Amino acid sequence: MKYVNNLTWGFAVAALIALMPIAARAVGAPPKIDASTPLTELKTLATQGNADAMLELGERQVQGQGVDTNSTEGRQWIQKAADAGKANAWYDLGMIYSKGLGVPTDMKKAMEYYRTGAEKGNSDCQTSLGLFYQAGEKIPGGVKADPAEAVKWYRLAADQNHTEAMFHLAQLYMQGEGVKKDSIEAVKWFRKGAEAGNPDAQWMLGSCYQKGVGVAKDNVQAYALISAAVDGAENPEQKKGMGDIRDKLGSELNPEQLKQAQKLAEEWIEKRNK
């Protein structure tokens, strides 16, 4: 299991989400650690030095999943997993301090953990580190804003297909922050994120089609992408606002165009649901 970022322009810290799908254990293969692993077996494997078991056990303890919440011991197991080479464990440690899970919230310490994981190649840590540099002192305990440094870390994560990094990288290209303004390059990254199912990227790519920024104006594509973004939006107020824009676009399409746009919207939504 791991934590997954769900960061928006407001730099909200990600919430903890569900455990990864169960996979079959091959005969003779190393034990597969997942949500189905019994607690007793997990503890045994962790004690024997299995890094995956250390990480899973630590996360269960921090979150109180199937065990009594024990943030201190859980954090210790996650630290051991990180020291044993689990790069995503550094992201978990960063989340513990950014969320204040059993410890006082400490964004400076969180950033240190994210940096360690980022330097080890973890894309979640790279994206979080990029956000610190993009937000600057808007994050208490953060650093001086450095958009160029944010671009650097976002690009590293985007090259690993991290959809949120793609979205933020595209934003910086569109705004010309930390990099030369380039709406065509921005559209490229919005498209990559949209095709990977990121609703924020779908919204922005749809807006680009609506306004003809970085791409030829196309209200059919705009309607389709904004519809997909509406489908994926979680904030009710945001969902309504985007829905109003979609409906206005729809009123400007003829029946055949609207039918085509709705079909395309279904295809974009399917990309996210895969």
Q: Is the pLDDT of residue 1 over 90?
A: no
Asked: is 1-20+31-118 a CATH 1.25.40.10 domain? The reply is yes
pLDDT at 265: 95
Q: How confident is the model at residue 155 (pLDDT cuts 50, 70, 90)?
A: very high
DSSP letter string, 24-80: PPPTTSPPPPSTTS-HHHHHHHHHTT-HHHHHHHHHHHHHTSSS---HHHHHHHHHH
pLDDT at 28: 52
pLDDT tens by residue, 156-171? 999 999 999 999 999 9
Q: Is the pLDDT of residue 5 over 80?
A: no
Least confident residue range of 9-23, 201-215, 242-256 = 9-23
Q: How confident is the model at residue 21 (pLDDT cuts 50, 70, 90)?
A: very low
Q: How confident is the model at residue 91 (pLDDT cuts 50, 70, 90)?
A: very high
Q: Is the pLDDT of residue 34 over 90?
A: no
Q: Is the pLDDT of residue 12 over 50?
A: no
DSSP letter string, 223-259: HHHHHHHHHH---HHHHHHHHHHHHHHHHTS-HHHHH
Q: How confident is the model at residue 32 (pLDDT cuts 50, 70, 90)?
A: confident
Q: Is the pLDDT of residue 112 over 70?
A: yes
Give the whole-angstrom CA distance, residue 98 versus residue 106.
Answer: 6
Q: How confident is the model at residue 140 (pLDDT cuts 50, 70, 90)?
A: confident
pLDDT tens by residue, 44-75? 999 999 999 999 999 999 999 989 899 999 99
Q: Is the pLDDT of residue 131 over 60?
A: yes
Give the whole-angstrom CA distance, residue 95 versus residue 110.
Answer: 7
pTM confidence score = 0.83
**Encoded tokens for 210:** 């609506």
pLDDT tens by residue, 224-260? 999 999 999 999 999 999 999 999 999 999 999 999 9
Query: Which residue's structure tokens are 């464990």?
Result: 89
Domain ranges of the chain: 1-20+31-118, 181-274
What's the mean per-residue pLDDT of the chain? 88
CB 91 within 8 A of CB 78: no
